[in-house]
Structure 1
């Protein structure tokens, strides 16, 4: 049985409010619950994704530790890794009890660890298995099930592989695909190199989307900023940013107005820091859990290097309290104001 819900959980938003127009990518070791809470202070509309969580870990480990999140993170999707339909189905059923808005299957991660476990990007070579996995997941949960994939792996020919892969998986009823528009080289490139070296092929993904208007195709990979994200919406149903959003998180403050045309003023950096600090204080959470995701908050501003140094070097010290974090941000705001005067 799924763990009992805590009072921190609320029902997920209705499907009409769940939008893939803009999302922040699942990133291992980065998009944990503390990162997502911080990002949510900058954008109310972006769809946030967890790190990839392996189905075996959910079934055999501490599911509450792995899956628990704050209600403020909605809308939030869980990304699962695995290749056993029964295990993925059970993990999806458990996850629904925690109140997620979507379950996503990882068919894109190229690390050695996922290859040895026969999941991630290597599943691009086994569309039959992927179809069985998502069918089982859909049968186990009422949540939407989506797939994040590459355009191919190793010596596959993307223009042949990607359309066929999407058609076979879509036949199960999956309607939303997030496509990282690069090949994954499982032999010869590290996971880090796989994020940058294989060339991008947006045109291929755009053609797949144009030929399948009944599907929702989200573009991921190499999108550097929100201007480029907006430009890509002419050809895609949505865009997903990864490193750009994590390394320069303040760009998220413009998402609601620029991509969702909301009239509310963007939240300031200082407002976001105060919200995070108050949340940490209220929940008695060590501030370093949030601070490590905030190094790039003042990217491009005068004093940004000092900000990064202070919070990275002092973030785990005894004096690194929520009040301390607010003081660091107030100092930065003063430096910025002086530079602007």
Structure 2
């Protein structure tokens, strides 16, 4: 029997202050995490993605660029982006993100070691929904890292991209030995004829202390299973995207059929049980998920995300879905029998329903 599901919300929202959990006085489930950005500053033009351009990409001539890695597009990142958007509107120019791939830490390690919060495709989709005109990706390698900071400002910003303005966060550094800092960028802007604006640190008040909003803090929160803190830092629930694959069908045998999604090996989300939402084909459903190695049924195995969708009997195999992590229930555990596992799964599902229902009934603060 199919349960009630909610279509994505289309109400207008402020991209900087965007909180993708539904307001307590609304009864429908929250929209999928980045799909909610569909309502924010829609653009009449296609989103432009350019990699290593030698000249200003068509449509991004004289752009105002926000510069950085922007992994996660957390509240601090959105502060920089909103600043760049306001400046672009003021000077009548397009607005784009200037970012780097692969992540510098991966480059120096020679392999993927960073827990990426938003891979390039997800980042582009989020930026388009935030209303940016495009994203410029520069290949980051050891040669790029060894170049003097003047080469970045003069050859890339001024000559290749022809920017009218550059906006960066307070901690942005670039060039050999990270010699390029905000003050250097300001002086180069004056020398080369483009505007430079630096956005100060944005902090998150958590348990009475002020913490810098950062990708590192978000990764640490997720590694600890603290998805509530990650949501505060990001401004929306942490989410992953993947294709549903066929598993061993054991969950179906136990009465809990699951949608199985393999995540990138670099994903360091704490193994355990979570209350989640799953978006497929534009429809958001609620459920409970296990992320881990399933120690009760397999001695070894790669981490897998298994989502049991409440009140749903449809077919998700082969579909690309988004799973948002709303609440942490417990860590992964090994049980003495399948009966014990099944009993615990019932308890987990009940707790997940409580967590998800609380989003719609909690009093506003």
Please tell me the TM-score bracket, short chain as reference. 0.3 to 0.5
| Structure with the higher fraction of residues in helix conformation | 1
- Max radius of gyration: which structure? 2
| Structure with the higher fraction of residues in strand conformation | 2
**Normalized against structure 2, the TM-score is what?**
0.33
Which gives a bigger RCO, structure 1 or 2 (Cα 8 Å, sep 6+)?
2
**Normalized against structure 1, the TM-score is what?**
0.34
